[in-house]
């Protein structure tokens, strides 16, 4: 065999290997809620790895964004027939507003409503193999703040736990169609949005202090690890519920670590629980009560946290 023939043979072999790689490892992914803080990060990361990613948005702007309005049951069906992985990150912010009756309805419809609408389209997604939904670590309730909750533990009895339970039940509609994974997300450390900037406000002013007793445990995760867990679930085609939590530190420990990272004082007395209840009503429970949750299940699947320690996570986010 001359050199030219040998080159052509190797070129063809490499081409076939590349096609095989694209077919079996690169996926066609559709994300609802992909224009939010975590959604944008996930889209960029997935695209950088070669996946085809489209995003459902009420106000599509980019080339990979498609229109949908789940409240009106409207959607651009252009790419549905090619979707292999469907991810739902939709959901109004739990702690953004007081929980009035109308706000609770919005929290419900933005989670359960969007999921059931997506399921109503399952017949138009013949290639769908994997449905992944965001969920909440608050699902276990606050009855036992010393128990380290496993994914197999029952849901709590409070309203928020019930919301997450119904959210996951709606996700399980897809079980007869494909694999279903539920990512029970803790407080996300990301300087660009979410809970962290609001927590940092008083700390930056030098008046940071613990809330209530300050002893309530706060499960948290660095945004990099949350994106990593979603990608790990996609790559390994995992199913079931997973606690997306790096660690759980007390409210006082988290606030104090923020102050130390920013070289700010931390000596103000705790904010009284009564004041929190007057300011936030029922929603204050998210701030005043805590829980612990295990991350052993996701680690046994091979995922390794990049930021498992509080101080290192905050230093990376706040640097």
Contact assessment for residue 160 and residue 280, using Cβ atoms and an 8 Å cutoff: no
- In the block, residue with structure tokens 């599509």: 60
Q: For the whole model, what pTM was predicted?
A: 0.91
Is the confidence at residue 18, as pLDDT, over 80? no
Residues 276-316: tens digit of each pLDDT: 898 889 988 988 999 999 999 999 999 999 999 999 999 99
Torsion of CA 266, 291, 102, 61, to 10 degrees: 80
Torsion of CA 79, 83, 86, 90, to 10 degrees: 0
Residues 158-212: tens digit of each pLDDT: 999 999 999 999 999 999 999 999 999 999 999 888 888 888 999 999 999 999 9
Contact assessment for residue 265 and residue 206, using Cβ atoms and an 8 Å cutoff: yes
Residues 79-108: tens digit of each pLDDT: 999 999 999 999 999 988 999 999 999 999
Q: Is the dihedral of CA 130, 112, 62, 227 positive or negative?
A: negative
- In the block, residue with structure tokens 């933005």: 110
Is the confidence at residue 145, as pLDDT, over 90? no
Residues 202-254: tens digit of each pLDDT: 999 999 999 999 999 999 999 999 999 999 999 999 999 999 999 999 999 99
Beta-sheet pairing, 52-57 with 28-32: parallel
- In the block, residue with structure tokens 């002013």: 205
The pLDDT score that the predictor gives to residue 17 is 45
Reduced to 3 states (helix: H, G, I; strand: E, B; else coil), residue 98 is coil
A 10 A CB-CB count for 75 gives: 19
Q: Which domain holds residue 264?
A: 3-318
A 10 A CB-CB count for 167 gives: 24
User: In this structure, what CATH number is given to the domain that contains residue 173?
Assistant: 3.40.50.720
Name 108's bridge partners: none
Number of folded domains that form the chain: 1
Reduced to 3 states (helix: H, G, I; strand: E, B; else coil), residue 251 is helix
């Amino acid at each position: 065999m001359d050199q030219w023939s040998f080159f052509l043979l190797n070129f063809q072999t490499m081409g076939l290997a590349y096609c095989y790689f694209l077919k079996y490892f690169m996926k066609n992914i559709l994300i609802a809620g992909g224009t939010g803080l975590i959604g944008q990060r996930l889209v960029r990361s997935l695209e950088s790895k070669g996946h085809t990613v489209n995003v459902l948005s009420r106000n599509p702007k980019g080339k990979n964004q498609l229109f949908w309005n789940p409240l009106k049951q409207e959607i651009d069906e252009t790419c549905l027939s090619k979707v292999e992985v469907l991810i739902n990150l939709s959901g109004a912010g739990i702690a953004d507003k007081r929980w009035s009756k109308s706000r609770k309805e919005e929290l419900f419809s933005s989670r359960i409503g969007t999921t059931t609408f997506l399921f109503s389209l399952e017949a138009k997604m013949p290639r769908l193999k994997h449905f992944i939904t965001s969920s909440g670590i608050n699902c276990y309730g606050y009855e036992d703040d010393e128990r380290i909750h496993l994914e197999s533990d029952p849901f709590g009895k409070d309203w928020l736990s019930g919301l997450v339970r119904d959210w996951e039940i709606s996700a399980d509609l897809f079980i007869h169609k494909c694999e279903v994974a539920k990512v029970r997300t803790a407080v996300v450390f990301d300087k660009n949005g979410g809970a962290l900037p609001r927590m940092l406000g008083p700390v930056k002013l030098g008046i940071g202090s613990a809330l209530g007793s300050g002893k309530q445990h706060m499960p948290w995760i660095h945004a990099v690890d949350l994106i990593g867990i979603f990608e790990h679930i996609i790559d390994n085609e995992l199913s079931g519920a997973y606690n997306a939590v790096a660690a759980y530190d007390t409210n006082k420990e988290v606030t104090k670590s923020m102050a130390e990272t920013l070289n700010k004082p931390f000596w103000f007395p705790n904010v009284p629980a009564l004041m929190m209840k007057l300011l936030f009503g029922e929603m204050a429970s998210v701030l005043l009560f805590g829980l612990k949750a295990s991350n052993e299940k996701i680690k046994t699947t091979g995922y390794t946290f990049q930021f498992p320690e509080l101080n290192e996570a905050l230093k990376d986010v706040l640097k």
